[in-house]
Amino acid sequence: MSDIVRLSRINFRHLLVLRQLLEEQSVTQAATRLCLSPSAVSKILSQLRDCLDDELFYRQGNQLLPTAKAKRLGPVISAMLREMDNLFTEEGFRPEGFQGRMNLALRESSFELLASAIASVQQQAPGMTLAVHAKESTGFQSLCEGRVDLLVLPHDLGQPPTGRNELIWERLAEDEMCCLMRAEHPLAAKELTLDAYLSFAHVGILDADLQQPFFEQSLAQLSRRRNLAMEVADFGAAASICRHSDLLFTCSALWASMAAQASGMVVKPLPFAYGKVGYSMVHHQSGSRDPALQWLKATLLSGFKQSISQG
């Protein structure tokens, strides 16, 4: 089949159905979102399989899992649909008139800093459905598959957690690391030395996407290491554990100064050099010209800076 004939058999509805199937991974749920019948969605999926010469999805239990080709098409389809939407609007992006869904993924620690900015997004773009996913369940692969539009995370600034060239990194803010402990901790009223820091057990954060942090590497260069007694999924859980024990938590100073979970706890600077850390936004390169994504990033950046200045 020639390329022209193949393209002539794919229309706007095919693209919408494919994007929705990638998001929902269910024919029934995709049909509900598109106000179509499940049989209509199944028929369109069959047509797509024929035109693209690929199964696109395979069933595993109650889920439709995308093939490698479907994953590659995800961000391209999302960008195409937004570009097509822009054809009907001559003026610049108007958040108050936007109708659609944006998928944001972030860690719980980032949510603490972005909560007011996220609320501002909803106020300025009431027609936008902003789905906020947990970073722990949606990693960098979700950006590449088009299931997530924007990812926000803390990391070592000199070492982005992934080397994927198709992902665009934009810095939100620089930060510092600190040591968090309960007010009743034996070290709370003392200067925090390296020996004291290492004499107590620590709680760490689980994240398969992140490499060994620089502060751990700095300790290794000193031939020292922490006693990591526990690992949890998010900063709030770590702070809660510390509030009820003598465990220490090494975390973002911005988060410690603003998070409700850290209120009333003692914050001390780390007693060794550890490099620069901060928060960044990450998106797939296919969204670089997407006005909705650009507006979302600008709004989050503005709100982030405002939260820091008020914190």
For residue 7, the model assigns a pLDDT of: 55
Query: Does residue 87 lie in a domain region?
Result: no
User: Do 192 and 102 share a structural domain?
Assistant: no
Print the domain residue range for 151. Answer: 97-174+281-310
Rounded distance between C-alpha atoms, residue 18 and residue 290, angstroms = 19
| Nearest residue to 278 via CA among 116, 150, 170, 120 | 170
Count of alpha carbons within 13 angstroms of residue 297, beta-carbon side: 22
pLDDT block averages, 10 residues each, the chain of length 311: 57 86 89 88 89 88 86 82 64 81 86 87 91 76 85 78 77 90 97 96 81 80 93 91 97 88 92 85 86 92 79 58
For residue 86, the model assigns a pLDDT of: 62
User: Do 187 and 168 share a structural domain?
Assistant: no
Amino acid identity for residue 63 in this structure: Q
Output the domain CATH number for residue 57: 1.10.10.10
User: Do 164 and 30 share a structural domain?
Assistant: no
For residue 2, the model assigns a pLDDT of: 47
User: Do 293 and 168 share a structural domain?
Assistant: yes
195: left (phi over 0), alpha (psi -120 to 50) or beta: alpha
User: Do 140 and 180 share a structural domain?
Assistant: no
User: Do 269 and 203 share a structural domain?
Assistant: yes
User: Do 238 and 306 share a structural domain?
Assistant: no
Query: Does residue 85 lie in a domain region?
Result: no
Output the domain CATH number for residue 163: 3.40.190.10
For residue 90, the model assigns a pLDDT of: 47
- Look at the chain and report how many structural domains it folds into: 3
User: Do 153 and 299 share a structural domain?
Assistant: yes
User: Do 130 and 252 share a structural domain?
Assistant: no
In angstroms, the Cα distances linking 26 to 14, 51, 91 are 16, 21, 36
Query: Does residue 290 lie in a domain region?
Result: yes
For residue 159, the model assigns a pLDDT of: 66
User: Do 11 and 49 share a structural domain?
Assistant: yes
Q: What is the DSSP letter of 67?
A: P
